[in-house]
Each structure stands twice: as structure tokens, then as C-alpha cells.
Amino acid sequence: MSIADGLKIAFDVHLSGDLERAEEFYRAILRASPGNPMAATLLGLIRSQRTMVRQSKHKALSLLRSRGFQPATVIDVGAQTGTPPLYEVFPDAHHVLIEPVAENEPALQALCGQLRSAEYHIAAVARRDGTVSLAVSEDRLYSSIVAEAVAKAVAGASPSSLPDRRTVPAVSLDCLCASRGHAGPMLVKIDVDGLELEVLAGAATLMRPDAVFAIEATVAGGDARLLPIVDAMAASGFQVWDIVDPLYRSGDERMWQVDLVMVHRDGPYAAL
């Protein structure tokens, strides 16, 4: 077989997603043709792909599953139109999708129809049940609870300067899980663009040793939330198990946010 034929076979295997076999082919080509530029380049690409996969939420949750984590309930706080890694890794769990932007309801309805066991709630998650003021982006992809002082200032602004601000129902995870009888172990994913600590303040009953949390946290800017989240979770016995899904700002390429995967220090996964 010629080097060119071997490269074609290796590349076809690479495209199929079988990185292990593709690496074997590329290494064989490099043994037969030391320094072959195409084989060396594609071998480097495999290393990059592995790094990207390892830094993903999907991979971190898969590793926890392989170490025995099998949640009965998966709670997606800030579901938007769905979070595929949650139900791809844990298809047999009961999925609770919570999203405050009503325009996303049709997508959540459809998703619940596809999952084995699921429910959705159009509500924000806060430290207690009630209502909150919600600011929503024009594309409906992002939303965040408006703090009371900010809400009052916005209320006095001219209509042309107002964001899409609306009043929506709010639920606490403690009350929701108690009323619905959701069972543990639980996986709780939190993506709320700023008020993670408010969500956690209403989730005291979920802070159990067999639980796992995946929390989005900013690491740059004046409102960087990584350390406050780590401190708040540490007070409940949780520690960082993995850091995944890094996001870099487009303007200056500085790391902007990550997802923290957190487990209880006395739980079954801390030492794994």
C-alpha cells in the first residue's frame, strides 16, 4: 500500500470519529515515512480534538457516570431550548427543565415529548417562590433577573431605553423539589447569567453528598462570580471536581467564563 493510500484510509477513519484507530494509522505512516507532513499535522489535530472533548460538560458528566453517578433527577436551571449533554449522558433520569422566557416553551414541550421522563416549568429560579423582574435579550437567548434597585431605576427610564423587561413567576428549587417529590441522587445544572448565588440560596435541601452541580461562572470583569460560587458551595461541603466549557471573549481573547462541576467532599465521587 502506498503512503497516499494509507493517508486516505487514515483520514476516512478520522472523519468517522474513531480517533483511536486514526491515530494508529497516522503513527504507522510516520514510521514508514518519518516526518510526513500530512500525517504529522493530522496527528496533531487529533490531540487538539481530544483536548476539546475533555474540556466539555459532556465528557465530565460521562466520566462521573463511569464512576457510578446515576442521577434519578436532572434539573436544568436556565434550560433555554435544551441542554443536550444532560439527556445524552443520562437518558434514563427524570429531567426537570426550568426556563423563564416564555418564547422557549414550544421547544421545551417538544423536548419533553422526546425524553423518557421529563417536565418543564416556565419560571425563573430564585431563593424563594414569588415573582421577579426579568430582563430578556432581543434574540430571546439570554435573560437575567433584575435586582430590585436596578428594576426601580429601569422603571423610571424613558420607554426608548428600556430592555425587554417582564414580570415572571419565580420558584425555589427547595420548594419545587418538595412539591413534586423529586428523588435523588440529583444533578443540578445552573446557567442564569449572574444570580447563581440566589439560586443556590433556595437549594439548601439539594446540597446532599450524592448530588452533583454544574454551575456557569464568570472569571473576568468586576462581577466575576467564580470565587463567590466556590465559597458558597464550600460552605455546603462541595468542591470543584472539574472545570469545563471555557469561553473566551471575542474582543481580547481573555477567558470569560467556565462551567464548574462540583461534588460533595464527603460524597462517593470526591476521591474519584
| φ, ψ of residue 102 in degrees (nearest 5) | -60, -25
Residue, of 213 and 166, whose pLDDT is higher: 213
Give Cα separations from 186 to 225, 271, 272 (angstroms): 23, 19, 18
Residues facing residue 189 across a β-bridge: 76, 214
The residue type at 188: V
Nearest 10 degrees: Cα torsion 168, 172, 173, 176? -80
Helix (H) or strand (E) holding 20: helix 19-32
Task: Domain ranges for the chain, please list them.
Answer: 3-54, 57-123+177-264
Q: pLDDT digits over 82-98, tens only?
A: 999 999 999 999 999 99
Q: What's the CA gap between 104 and 72, in Å, rounded? A: 25
Provide the pLDDT for residue 160: 39
Q: What's the CA gap between 255 and 39, in Å, rounded? A: 32
Give Cα separations from 127 to 157, 167, 197 (angstroms): 28, 16, 9
Q: What is the full DSSP assignment across 105-156?
A: HHHHHHHHHHSSSEEEEESEE-SSSEEEEEEE-TTSS-EEEPPHHHHHHHHT
Helix (H) or strand (E) holding 241: strand 238-248
CATH of domain 57-123+177-264: 3.40.50.150
202 has pLDDT over 60: yes
151 pLDDT tier (thresholds 50, 70, 90): very low
Q: pLDDT digits over 214-236, tens only?
A: 999 998 877 889 999 999 999 99
Assigned C-alpha cell, 240: 470543584
102 has pLDDT over 60: yes
Provide the pLDDT for residue 14: 72
Q: Residue 194, by phi and psi: left (phi above 0), alpha (psi -120 to 50) or beta?
A: left
The residue type at 67: R
155 has pLDDT over 60: no
Mean pLDDT along residues 11-28: 78
Q: What's the CA gap between 80 and 256, in Å, rounded? A: 20
Mean pLDDT along residues 135-150: 58
Provide the pLDDT for residue 95: 97
Mean pLDDT along residues 208-216: 95
Strand 164-171 to strand 212-218: parallel, antiparallel, or no bridges (unpaired)? unpaired
Provide the pLDDT for residue 52: 59
